[in-house]
Structure 1
């Protein structure tokens, strides 16, 4: 129960990493508010699981690319939970596409959701934490893609590098308020984002062979690292980046 009494907000939490993290935080004692874009059924079932654990849960629909979504999400969460102690900025998209003919709309949409959306969510949550005067924790779900390139991810990898940089800068800006800001860098985690890409068994087998732990990640693999950074166990950790990739990044031989 490392998060007992904490109020945790998770964006993009109707499925995948966000959903696993939201429910995992509830298992550790947190009340949880989730943001989601379109999957109402997924969001409602996630909230049902949170409530089944004896915790408060609420789902708020909204497109994170719209700055107003951040303000409304924080407001509803404060009304439902009484405040904000932790934000996990997780919402993101990755529509795979080649570089030379990347549609402007695809590039701009990816930027608005992944980077702009996170910026406004972090800003809104931080303002609420400052008003409360009790500090807090902000965690951005960056990616191993912040450190390595991808042929069909030229629009995506810069957003993940941006999230890492955002956490480093906000760690400095918000430290005086007792707010810790850290980034998690998942490797290849099996989610809806990469389901089609990894449907090719040859590619999947190759990817698994590059990971020292011998398997692709599951959304639940992100729960422990998130809970740690959100908890008081990490009270002197800020501006940090934690790879959660089964060892893929270091396997260069």
Structure 2
């Protein structure tokens, strides 16, 4: 019960990595607020699981690209649970596209959701934590893509590098308030974002062959890393990046 009676906010919490994190933090004793954009049915399924674990949960719908969503999400969590202890900034998109003919709107939307959304949510949660006066933890889901390129990800990889950089700077800006800021860098995790890209059995076999642990990641693989960084076990960890990739990055040469 590493997060017993903590209040954890998770963006993009209705599916994939976010849903897995919601279930894991509830298992570790936290009450959970999840945000998603027009995904009420899936969000309700996550809340059902949270409540089955004996914890409370709420869902707040909204587009993280809009600054008002961050304020509304934080306020709803405070109204429901009285405070905010942890923010997990997870919401993100990756519409794969070639570089030379990428539409401006695809670039802008990816930047606004992945990077601006993380910034808005971090600021709103941090202000609430400062008001409370007893610190907190912010964990942003970056990506191995912050460290390596991708032919069809020229709009996505800069956002994930930016999310990691955001946590580094916020670790400095918020340290005096007792707020720790860290990022998790998942490798290839099987989620809705990449299911079409990995539908080709040959490509999937190739990807698995590059990973020393011999398999692609599951959303549940990220939950433990987030719990660690959110918990008092990481009380002296801030500004750090934790790779959770099965060893893929070190095997790229």
TM-score (norm 2): 0.99
SS of equivalent to 2:139: strand
RMSD of Structure 2 on Structure 1 (CA) = 0.5
Output one character per residue of 1:158-200: Cα deviation in whole Å (capped at 9) or x when no partner: 0000000000000000000000000000000000000000001
Between 1:162-171 and 1:49-58, the stretch displaced more is: 49-58
Equivalent residues in 2 for 1:74-89 (5 A)?
Answer: 74-89=74-89
Equivalent residues in 2 for 1:42-121 (5 A)?
Answer: 42-121=42-121
Equivalent residues in 2 for 1:170-189 (5 A)?
Answer: 170-189=170-189
Matches of 2:81 and 2:227, distance apart in 1? 18
Q: Give the Å deviation of 1:113.
A: 0.2
1:239 aligns to what? 239
Equivalent residues in 2 for 1:188-203 (5 A)?
Answer: 188-203=188-203
SS of equivalent to 1:33: strand
SS of equivalent to 2:198: helix
Q: Give the Å deviation of 1:5.
A: 1.3
SS of equivalent to 1:150: coil
SS of equivalent to 1:42: helix
Matches of 1:104 and 1:243, distance apart in 2? 31
Matches of 2:213 and 2:49, distance apart in 1? 30
Output one character per residue of 1:60-111: Cα deviation in whole Å (capped at 9) or x when no partner: 0000001000000000010011100000000000000000000000000000
Matches of 1:131 and 1:41, distance apart in 2? 33
Matches of 1:190 and 1:17, distance apart in 2? 9
SS of equivalent to 1:2: coil
TM-score (norm 1): 0.99
Matches of 1:41 and 1:162, distance apart in 2? 31
Matches of 1:186 and 1:38, distance apart in 2? 25
Equivalent residues in 2 for 1:4-19 (5 A)?
Answer: 4-19=4-19
Q: Give the Å deviation of 1:52.
A: 1.1
1:148 aligns to what? 148
Matches of 1:247 and 1:237, distance apart in 2? 22
Q: How many residues are treated as equivalent by the alignment?
A: 253
Q: Give the Å deviation of 1:246.
A: 0.1
